[in-house]
A = this chain, B = another copy of it.
């Protein structure tokens, strides 16, 4: 990566106060409106439907064209009563059910807790040490600036429940994947969706994971009472919401800017992913107000990223026939902090065009990094079909303090940083939309979904 230390003032010109709406001045305002006026919006919930209506209304207000919804059926999982308590000391623990957790009986379960430090440790436990117990996976997520601490620990949440179930555990609780010590559990999905009659799986707030660890360290057996009563519903209608800045010369060729409209039910979704919605909508608004791109710039706000990626999968399936016309697909789903560098995943033979565009980002304090871009979750199905992507890597140092928790509220939004990121999206989108050539296709060997 090239180190770049230019003082980034230029984005203020392009990113802030660019356009008319006094209600929504910038990317932050757009994100704050979604988090405030809609709030939590898990796929298939009333909040999800309100979010779809918000997105259509807001796209029109921001001056986009061809605003429409593309219906998609999403799987439904709803949180119910949730409660955890240490039986001996009567102390409550802050717990939340993980996505696709099964339910405990209504009265809950009471069982001894067994602590494990990794998936590997769980796999090596003798069966009788786990059978009938509540497995407590206590893995501390490291704070990193590029999010790889999440990549390192998320398998425990995704695959721990099934591993515990296979070992005969009565239930599974994970230390919340969070880089802060707080009293809010952090939600998240698991691989239990395809499992019949899954066990109950929850996340404990990090402060309460510490309490449980300290209590177990006393050496005596510790019993937990756990009540988690989530339920599945039939698939429900939702929608990807689409708006465009039509291309002046090649309107059927598309630069796609994506973010996801849904959020976990515990969160207002200000940073995840109100921020991303704000970034791509503001970028498109600035292009619509000031430019006439050769190709179409299309914003897609995807449905159901958090619980199933159903929206993005449906989008790629429906649009597969014209996928060669999608010249680039980018995604904003990394929170509210400043962009540090950009990477390309496309045809290496056409990297020079990307390098020219990236060079223009240096005045925003954004470097060009070597190595392949990591496709975002919602553009990954398109990348799997060969569509190139450019990754705008934001600083993730603070992102996982509040990710997927009730702490994800509008006060966390950083207007200045969001303006910088939004400007980068606008410049890249415009640069690629106006390219004489294109970025080619992703080589077969590098296409893989998710």
**Chain A residues near B (Cβ < 8 Å):** 32, 36-40, 46-47, 50, 89-92, 94, 181-184, 207-208, 210-211, 214-215, 218, 268, 405-407, 409-411
Contact = CB atoms under 8 A, between A and B. Distances in A.
B183 A184 contact: yes
Contact of A409 (B207, B218, B406): B207
Contacts of A405: 183
A211 B89 contact: no
Given A89-B50, A90-B46, A90-B47, A210 B39 contact: no
Contact of A211 (B36, B91, B210, B218): B36
Nearest to A23: B218
A410 B39 contact: no
Nearest to A208: B409
B89 A407 contact: no
20 contacts: A32-B214, A36-B214, A37-B218, A39-B89, A39-B90, A40-B91, A46-B90, A47-B91, A91-B268, A181-B409, A183-B184, A183-B405, A183-B409, A184-B184, A207-B409, A208-B409, A210-B410, A210-B411, A211-B268, A214-B410
Given A37-B215, A38-B89, 20 more contacts: A32-B214, A36-B215, A37-B89, A37-B218, A39-B89, A39-B211, A40-B92, A47-B90, A47-B91, A50-B89, A91-B268, A181-B409, A183-B405, A183-B406, A183-B407, A184-B184, A208-B409, A211-B409, A211-B410, A214-B410
Contacts of A411: 181, 207, 210
Nearest to A182: B407
Closest 5 CB pairs of A and B: A39-B91, A183-B406, A207-B409, A181-B411, A36-B214
A219 to B, nearest CB: 12
A411 B411 CA distance: 24
A30 B441 CA distance: 63
A206 B306 CA distance: 26
A182 B211 CA distance: 21
Q: Considering residues A38, A40, A183, A407, which has the most beta carbons from chain B within 10 angstroms of its beta carbon?
A: A183
A407 B206 CA distance: 11
A389 to B, nearest CB: 34
Contacts of A181: 409, 411
Q: Considering residues A36, A47, A215, which has the most beta carbons from chain B within 10 angstroms of its beta carbon?
A: A36
A184 B36 CA distance: 18
A40 to B, nearest CB: 7
B210 A409 contact: yes
A239 to B, nearest CB: 19
A207 B210 CA distance: 25
A409 B46 CA distance: 35
A410 B406 CA distance: 21
Contacts of A32: 214
Nearest to A45: B90
A121 to B, nearest CB: 24
Contact of A406 (B36, B46, B89, B94): B94
A183 B411 CA distance: 11
A320 B39 CA distance: 57
A37 B90 CA distance: 10
Nearest to A50: B89
A266 to B, nearest CB: 9
Q: Considering residues A39, A47, A215, A218, which has the most beta carbons from chain B within 10 angstroms of its beta carbon?
A: A39
Nearest to A207: B409
Contacts of A36: 211, 214-215
Contacts of A39: 89-91, 211
